[in-house]
Amino acid sequence: MEFLPLKEPPKGVPLFPTANQIVSMCQRAFGPSVRVASARELSGGTFNTTFLITLNDQQVILRIAPSPTADLLWNEHWLMRREQQIQPFFAALAPLMPRTLLADFTHQLIDRDYIFQTYLVGERWDQTADRFTPEEKLRLWEQFGSITKTIHSTPGRIFGGPYPAPEFQTWSQTVLYHLESATQAMLDEQLDVTDLRSVLEILQTQTARLDMITQPRLMHGDLWLFNVLVSHDAEGPTITGVLDADRAWWGDPLADWTMFVLAMEAPESHPGHARFWQAYGAPEQTPETTFRQSVYEAMHIGTAMAWASHHDDADTVERGKRDLRAVLKRLQSYAT
């Protein structure tokens, strides 16, 4: 087998996958007689170790989760197991999402969770965006809005989750848990949590505004251009793949990561975002929705600041401080 890791395995790290382990994993998934031509590690991921596996009759994707002893943040534990729990609820997007061929959490062949998935044709949108004409870009944003709406149209029975992540009976309990966890993560990184604690104090007196959300909805949790595959034919570009639903959870669609990123730039200044909202359907801007959106912004900013500090990204930490202070001022005006 041709084994093509991105770099030399780190010295003293025994859990880095070896060529022999990958062959053994392929034999478990596809039978002892399978012929493995190559295993090429793919770049661009920031969490799992991902290989494109070429077999004698097909290409498949092998995703290997971090080691159980890895230094992870509160929201990064058991992501692959969570993804397998929630994957059936993405049935409405089945043609666009990779199918799981084998999920192995036994740690018998390697002391890490891993899954084999079908290989989807296409290139990452964020890596090809400059190739498209303005009209082609708008077409993609419209498709993106429709896809996001399809995800958010799927109802659930519980908030938070999926197992083994905590599940809750109410939406306010879920958001409080996320904010408290983000606060602790920031403390662990020795960041100032004064503003995030102030957000928590406001929310603890305003839980009824969150509990207006009584129907959990499916959220992807990490849906942006880097997790979207695009193919181009004579009719133009088309979204052909939606990847990495391992951060999916249940709640208010306005709390999805996609909505947070969109909120960072006004639609009128970005034609693509405006086309997204045309396809998705812009939410009605009431005092209740603007309050909830501000709470979700604080939640995401706190989580992002902890992640950035953990990965030595000082610029994101500083930007987060400014953004969090602005969100707190908004919430203080809504709460009065």
Name residue, tokens 């062959």: 23
Helix, coil or strand: residue 230:
strand
Short-list 137, 138, 106, 148, CA closest to 245: 148
Tokens 């406001």 locate to: 202
Looking at domain 123-335, its CATH superfamily turns out to be Aminoglycoside phosphotransferase (APH), C-terminal lobe (3.90.1200.10)
Residues of each domain in the chain carrying CATH 3.30.200.20: 2-118
By CB atoms closer than 10 A (0-12, 13-18, 19+), residue 312 is: exposed
What pLDDT digit, counting tens, does each position of 159-196 carry?
A: 999 999 999 999 999 999 999 999 999 999 999 999 99
Structure confidence by residue, pLDDT tens digits, 279-332: 999 899 899 999 999 999 999 999 999 999 999 999 999 999 999 999 999 999
Sign of the Cα pseudo-torsion (54, 57, 58, 64, in order): negative
CATH code of 2-118, in short, is: 3.30.200.20
Place of tokens 């708008």: 138
Q: What pLDDT score was predicted for residue 9?
A: 58
Residues of the chain with CATH 3.90.1200.10: 123-335
Quick: pLDDT tens for 99-156: 999 999 999 999 999 999 999 999 999 999 999 999 999 999 999 999 999 999 999 9
Q: Are 151 and 208 in contact (CB under 8 A)?
A: no
Residue 11 has pLDDT above 90, yes or no: no
Residue 198 makes CB contacts below 8 A (sequence gap 6+) with 328, 332
pLDDT for position 15: 65
d(CA 218, CA 19): 37
